[in-house]
């Protein structure tokens, strides 16, 4: 008479369905977060923007009137924006990232409102006697835009925005001459430093 089949002494331990489901959800969430990040922030383009700002800081330091100082920085800002936009489009094409993707749209739509606010405030402040507030306002609003847009990009971008906001807060409560220096340190120095970090860590 044959002996009954014996159950193996050891069987693979089944993974509880709750643990497997949680692991699957975590993987899906991480994958979606990586896919939704806007990675086309151009490191070398940001460096170039910083170099333009450093040149503007030097040129503006030699001006004798508020009007000439303001014109110098406005021209530099327009040049820097053009460089940044062109570099971003180029990197997006290189990385095969669509500027019209959900992450691209969120990045741009989060960045633009603070920049537009800075433009309107500049017009409103001009000629009012409050022009010495402009370095702080520009640094703060630009930093706010970078933080907002950077929340959809690589982690170093919102850190850069926070650094701009810190300098902006300092500039608001210091004399205008100090604010001018902080502008050069922000739009010039921070762009160069963080642009280099982005280029090294995230490919150009």
Is pLDDT at 185 greater than 50 in this prediction?
yes
Q: Which of 40, 43, 21 is nearest to 204 (CA)?
A: 43
Q: Out of 2-16, 64-78, 165-179, which region has the weakest mean confidence (pLDDT)? A: 2-16
* Residue 190: pLDDT over 80: yes
194 part of a folded domain = yes
In a domain, 158, yes or no: yes
Weakest mean pLDDT among 59-68, 100-109, 117-126, 136-145? 100-109
> Under DSSP, is residue 45 helix (H, G, I), strand (E, B) or coil?
helix
Q: Is residue 95 part of a domain?
A: yes
- What's the whole-number mean pLDDT along residues 108-112? 90
Residue 44 inside a domain? The answer is: yes
What is the model's pLDDT at position 38? Answer: 76
Least confident of 30-34, 48-52, 57-61, 166-170: 30-34
The answer to whether residues 98 and 104 touch, using CB atoms and an 8 Å cutoff, is yes
**Which domain covers residue 89, as residue numbers?**
37-202
Looking at the domain assignment, is residue 9 inside a domain?
no
Q: Identify whether the C-beta of residue 184 lies closer than 8 Å to the C-beta of residue 54.
A: yes
On whether residue 25 sits in a domain, the answer given is no
Residue 34 has pLDDT above 90, yes or no: no
pLDDT for residue 5: 52
Asked whether the CA dihedral 81, 62, 54, 185 is positive or negative, the reply is: negative
- Domain count along the chain: 1
Indicate whether 36 pLDDT > 80.
no
Is 4 inside any structural domain?
Answer: no
Share of the chain above pLDDT 70, in %: 83
CA 54 to chain centre: 19
pTM for this model (two decimals): 0.79
Give SS3 for 153. Answer: strand
Query: What value does the mean pLDDT of the chain take?
Result: 86
pLDDT-derived band at 64 (thresholds 50, 70, 90) equals: confident
Does the residue 15 lie in any domain? no
């Amino acid at each position: 008479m044959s002996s009954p089949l014996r159950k193996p002494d050891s069987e693979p331990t089944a993974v509880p369905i709750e643990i497997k489901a949680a692991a699957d959800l975590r993987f899906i969430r991480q994958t979606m977060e990586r896919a939704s990040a806007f990675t086309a922030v151009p490191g070398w383009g940001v460096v170039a923007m910083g170099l333009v700002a450093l040149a503007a800081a030097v040129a503006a330091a030699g001006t004798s009137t508020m009007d000439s100082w303001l014109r110098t920085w406005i021209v530099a800002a327009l040049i820097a924006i053009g460089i940044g936009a062109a570099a971003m489009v180029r990197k997006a094409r290189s990385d095969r990232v669509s500027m019209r993707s959900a992450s691209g749209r969120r990045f741009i739509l989060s960045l633009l409102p603070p920049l537009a606010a800075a433009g309107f405030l500049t017009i409103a402040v001009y000629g009012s006697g409050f022009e010495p507030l402009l370095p702080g306002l520009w640094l703060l609003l630009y930093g706010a835009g970078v933080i907002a847009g950077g929340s959809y990009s690589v982690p170093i971008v919102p850190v850069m925005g926070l650094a701009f906001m810190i300098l902006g807060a300092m500039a608001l409560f210091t004399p205008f001459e100090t604010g001018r220096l902080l502008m050069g340190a922000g739009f010039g120095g921070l762009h160069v430093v963080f642009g280099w970090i982005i280029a090294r860590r995230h490919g150009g």
